[in-house]
Amino acid sequence: MNKQPESSIQKIAVHQLEPGMYVLSVRTKGKTVSVKSEGYVSSKESILKLIKAGITHLTIDASRQKQVDKIRPEVKEKKTQNESKKSGNGISLDQEMAKASKLYDDAKKLQHKMLSSLSEHKTINVVEAKESTDAIVDSIFRNQDALACMTRLRIKDEYLVEHSLNVAILMTLFAKHLAFDREIIEQLALGAFLHDIGKVLVPPEILHKTGKLTAQEFTVMKSHVDLGMEVLKESADLSELVIEVVQQHHERLDGKGYPKQLNDQQITQHGRMIAIVDSYDAMTAERVYKAGMHPIKAFNLLMKDAPNSYDKVLVEQFVNCLGIYPIGTLVKLTSGKLGLISRLNKSKPLLPFVRVFYNTRLNQAIAMKELDLSQAKYKDQIDCCIKPDEFNINLLSFFKAAFYN
């Protein structure tokens, strides 16, 4: 075997790995492990498998890098038209929507109850929380689009409650997309549901301040992670994985996060995932003092901050998971019609399914209809994402009409 020139041998972090690179060895949590068979990384799926296995760094031979299409073509899974309308165990979006809506409302009530209990008694009922998140996971496995829709409906004065719930839903979608085991997904969902529990112990004048926090106030705000940890460590029913999610949701790969300023080698895959999901939902949330940004802008900001703050490979996978236009997003078409994204089109992400219900040129509601923008007969395309208040629309009522009666 020919010895590689020293200049071509490089050590890289896993988020820098790209299809076509030639891997010599891998390292997990500071320990170098020889690969069974050194060779080329053929796809992004292969990179995800390495991340899932806990690999943090690799040694590559840069001189042997190839174009991906010269290694092997990607095999795309074919789905029948009927299958594309369903998710999980074959339950349609319309069938699952009513259940998902009740689950969402019940989980919000539970969040309110938990926050009140924590304020008064400094304790929470973890069993109830687990029952709620297990039900969320069940719904997502039946049809993942239903609860994904619910995350797009926000009430400005319920940010803390809805944020934790939405992060639990998005974390479940993300983990399912990465093909995690069901047991792990349930723990990640619970950790996400509880990740901001310590905020209720932050003084309300700081927690609800509409202006910019002073340096001293921000220090107090950052204490919510440790405050939450103190509460959760009192419960013997929580796994280390749940605690890990809560502890690492504000850590960043460049070591500039908090509370422990962990670096990229110390932050687990689950910590990297919750950081992405938590930031995305915070960016897109509607608050009394701040308008939420459109998903596309949030995706762009996450990509801009990768790989310094966020894991680049995982950000890309998160975007693939939700779609460029996430389910439930309100859009205006080039024809002037308004609609909600009802289904993704994995092969043509810019041309999803849209349920239209309003014509802005006529300023009136129209008969509900689902358009598959990838079909030639529909000459419409998405012009832009919009917000309901731009057209004085009660999005909740149209949402109910679009997805369940």
Please list, residue by residue across 13-22, b when 16 or more beta carbons sit within 10 angstroms of its beta carbon and e when fewer do: bbbebebbbb
Task: Please compute the mean of the pLDDT values over residues 258-275 and round it to a whole number.
Answer: 96
Answer yes or no: is pLDDT of 175 > 70: yes
Higher-pLDDT residue of 153 and 233 is 233
The pLDDT of residue 23 is 87
Q: Measure the CA–CA gap between 141 and 179, rounded to whole angstroms.
A: 12
Q: Is the pTM of this model over 0.75?
A: yes
- For 346, half-sphere exposure in the C-beta direction (CA atoms, 13 angstrom radius) is 12
Q: Exposed/middle/buried for 294, CB within 10 Å: 0-12, 13-18, 19+?
A: buried
User: What pLDDT, in 10s, does the model give residues 331-341?
Assistant: 999 999 999 99
- For 288, half-sphere exposure in the C-beta direction (CA atoms, 13 angstrom radius) is 9
Answer yes or no: is pLDDT of 239 > 80: yes
The pLDDT of residue 262 is 97
User: What pLDDT, in 10s, does the model give residues 57-70?
Assistant: 888 888 888 765 44
In the chain, % of residues over pLDDT 70: 86
- The mean-pLDDT minimum among 48-62, 173-187, 192-206 falls in 48-62
Handedness of CA 132, 136, 138, 139 (dihedral sign): positive
The pLDDT of residue 74 is 35
Q: How are strands ordered across the β-sheet holding 353-359? A: 364-372, 353-359, 337-343, 330-333, 382-385
Asked if 358 and 331 touch (Cβ cutoff 8 Å), the reply is no
The pLDDT of residue 54 is 73
41: left (phi over 0), alpha (psi -120 to 50) or beta: beta
User: What pLDDT, in 10s, does the model give residues 283-333?
Assistant: 999 887 788 899 999 999 999 999 999 999 999 999 999 999 999 899 999
User: What pLDDT, in 10s, does the model give residues 190-222?
Assistant: 999 999 999 999 999 999 898 899 999 999 999
The pLDDT of residue 88 is 46
Asked if 141 and 179 touch (Cβ cutoff 8 Å), the reply is no
Answer yes or no: is pLDDT of 113 > 70: yes
Q: What is the DSSP string of 237-249?
A: T--HHHHHHHHHT
Angle, CA of 234, 236 and 242, to the nearest 5°: 90
Query: Reduced to 3 states, what is the DSSP secondary structure of residue 277?
Result: helix
The pLDDT of residue 34 is 52
Higher-pLDDT residue of 12 and 381 is 381
Query: Reduced to 3 states, what is the DSSP secondary structure of residue 347?
Result: coil
Q: Measure the CA–CA gap between 292 and 167, rounded to whole angstroms.
A: 15
Tokens representing residue 391 in the block: 């057209």
The chain-wide mean pLDDT, for the chain, equals 86
Please list, residue by residue across 355-380, b when 16 or more beta carbons sit within 10 angstroms of its beta carbon and e when fewer do: bbbbebeeeeeeeeeebbbeeeebeb
Answer yes or no: is pLDDT of 72 > 90: no
Task: Please compute the mean of the pLDDT values over residues 332-359 and round it to a whole number.
Answer: 93
Answer yes or no: is pLDDT of 79 > 70: no
pLDDT band at 78; cut points 50, 70, 90:
very low
Answer yes or no: is pLDDT of 29 > 70: no
pLDDT band at 75; cut points 50, 70, 90:
very low
Query: Reduced to 3 states, what is the DSSP secondary structure of residue 301?
Result: helix
Asked if 225 and 259 touch (Cβ cutoff 8 Å), the reply is yes
Angle, CA of 319, 266 and 220, to the nearest 5°: 85
Answer yes or no: is pLDDT of 397 > 60: yes
Tokens representing residue 281 in the block: 């939902």
Q: Measure the CA–CA gap between 381 and 374, rounded to whole angstroms.
A: 9
